[in-house]
Amino acid sequence: MKTLLTLSLLAVSLAAHALPRTSAVYSLTPDTTNAGGSRTSSASYSHEGSLGEIGGFASFASPSVTVLSGYIGAQDVFRSVPGVITSPATNLTRTGATFAGQVTTEGGSPVTARGFVLGTDPNPTLENDILVPAGSGTGSFTVPVADLSPGTTYHLRAYATSEIGTGCGANVFFTTPVSAIFTRGLATFSRNILPGDRQVFDFSLTGPRIVSFAATGGASLRAELFDDEGNLIASFNGDSNFDLEQLLLAGDYAFHVYRQPGSGAAQAFNLTIDASVVAASRPDIGVGASAAGLQGVGLYAPASQSAALISTKANAVTGHATLSNRGKLPDVLKGSATGGSDLFAVSYFDPTGNITAGLLMGTYATAEMDENTAPVAIRATITPNKKKLTKKVKGKRPEILKKIHVLSLRLSSTFDPLIEDAATISVQTK
C-alpha cells in the first residue's frame, strides 16, 4: 500500500538535491525511484508563474500552466485556469446577436462565473471592456444580447473564472448589419473589413428599380445579393473591386460584402448603392399603311396615333402595327383589338399565325420583352363586304358606298395594367 508524504517531511532528505519550495504543498509516493532504488532525474515545475527545480523527481509539470497543488510522481495532477472556447456570433440583427461559448475544462477547481467580454478592439479584456455574464459551471452556454450599434465590427471572447483565475477563449469578430438610407436614390458607405468578415447592408424598394452596387478601395472583396426569403439573386467572386447591376422589384433585400478567411489587417473600401433608375414597362404601338411607314413609335397614349387606309372598289386592305416594350422592366405585354362589322371583316396575324380570337378577347400576350427585344409585327387585314357596300342605280354603273371602319388596338403591361398605349387603324371605302 502506497503512503503519501508531505513535502515538509522530506525537506531534510531533499536538501542535498535542492531547496524545498514550502510556498506550495506537494505530495509524492514513496516509490518515486528508479529500478535500482535511486531517485530519478530532477523535476521542473511552475509555481504561480515562476520556475524552479526539486531534485530527485521525474519531470511532470508544464511551465505554461500555473500549478498550485498536485502530485509529483506517477499520480501527477495540476490545477489551472478553466479551458474556454468562443463560438461565432449568430442571429445577427442591426442591434442584436446571440453569443455562444463552451467551458471545456474547469482546471481542477469549480467554475464560479462565465460569460463573454465584448469590445470594438481585438482581444477585449475583462478589465476594460463590456462583460456579458452567463452563469457558472462547465459545458456550452449562449446569451442573446441587444443594444448593439448597427454597422459596427465587434470583437468577442468567452471567459470562465475559478479560484485559480480566469481563462478566455480565442477572439472572434462580427459586424452588425446596417440599413441603407437612400438620398435621391443613392446610399454610400465608407467601411473597413477584416479577413473572414461579412458585412450586410439591408435596403427596401417601393417599386422596380435598376440597382447598381459599386465598391472601390482595392480590398479583396466578394459580394452576394439576397431577397427577403434568403434566395441568392446575384454574386461576385472576383476578390477585387466590383460593379454589379440588377433589376429588382419592390421588396426587401440584403447585400453582403465579405472577405475570404485569412490573416492580415482590415482593408478600407467604399460602397455605393444606386437605386435611382426607375425600372418600368413602356408598352408602345406603332401603326401604318405599310411596315416601313409606321406612325406613333415612341409616342404614347393619350397622344393620337393612327393610320388611314383607302379601300378602292371595296377591295381588301392591310394595315400594319408593331408591339414593343420601350421600358427598362422586362414584361409580358397584353394586346387587345376591336373586330369587324356587317360591312367589314377583320383578321389579325402575327408571325405565329392568326391571332384574331386572342386580340378580340383581350387574351393575346407577347413573350417577355424588354427595351432590347425586337418588336412584334402585326398585320390587320380588313375586307369590305362588297355586296353590301355596292349601290346599284338603274341606268348607271354600280357605286361603292363611302363607309369608314375604325380598329382600336391597345397594349398594356402585365406588371402594371394601368401602363398602356393605344392606336387606331381606319379604313375608308370609295
Domains of the chain: which residue ranges?
A: 5-72, 83-175, 178-278, 283-429
Q: Is 319 exposed, middle or buried (0-12, 13-18, 19+ CB in 10 A)?
A: buried
**178-278 and 83-175 share a CATH fold:** no
Q: How far apart are CA 133 and CA 139, in angstroms?
A: 15
Give the alpha-carbon dihedral of 149, 151, 155, 158, to 10 degrees. 60
**What does the pLDDT read at residue 303?**
87
Give yes or no for a contact between 116 and 132, defined as CB atoms under 8 angstroms apart: yes
Position 396 scores a pLDDT of 78
Which tens digits make up the pLDDT trace of 56-87? Answer: 333 333 333 333 334 344 334 468 999 999 99
Structural element, H or E, at residue 84: strand 83-90
Residue 387 has φ and ψ, to the nearest 5°, of -65, -45
The answer to whether 165 touches 66, Cβ cutoff 8 Å, is yes
Residue-level pLDDT at 55: 37
Superfamily of domain 83-175: Immunoglobulins (2.60.40.10)
Cell for 64?
505554461
Topology (CATH level 3) of domain 178-278: Jelly Rolls (2.60.120)
pLDDT score at 263: 83
**Alpha carbons 292 and 6: distance in angstroms, whole number:** 112
**Model confidence, pTM:** 0.67
Q: What is the pLDDT of residue 91?
A: 97
Q: What pLDDT tens digit does each residue of the chain (430 aa) get? A: 322 222 222 232 223 333 333 333 333 333 333 344 444 333 333 333 333 333 333 333 333 333 333 434 433 446 899 999 999 999 999 999 999 999 999 998 999 999 999 999 999 999 999 999 999 999 999 999 999 999 999 999 999 999 999 999 999 999 999 999 999 999 999 999 999 999 999 999 998 999 999 999 867 899 999 999 999 999 999 888 999 999 999 999 999 999 999 888 899 999 999 999 989 899 999 999 999 999 999 988 888 899 999 999 999 999 999 999 999 899 999 999 999 999 999 999 999 999 999 999 999 999 999 999 999 999 999 999 999 999 887 777 888 899 999 999 999 999 889 899 999 999 999 8
3-state SS assignment for residue 250: coil
The whole-angstrom separation of Cα 55 and Cα 17 is 5
- The length of the chain in residues reads 430
Question: Do strands 283-288 and 331-337 pair parallel, antiparallel, or not at all (unpaired)?
Answer: unpaired
User: Residue 377 and residue 321: Cα distance in Å, rounded?
Assistant: 6
Write phi, then psi, for 324 (nearest 5 degrees): -135, 160
CA dist 184 → 98, 277, 281 (Å): 36, 10, 22
CATH assignment of 283-429, given 3.30.1490.20, 3.40.50.880, 2.60.40.10, 2.20.25.90?
A: 2.60.40.10
CA atoms within 13 A on the CB side of 182: 16
pLDDT score at 264: 85
Dihedral sign (CA 36, 39, 41, 43): positive
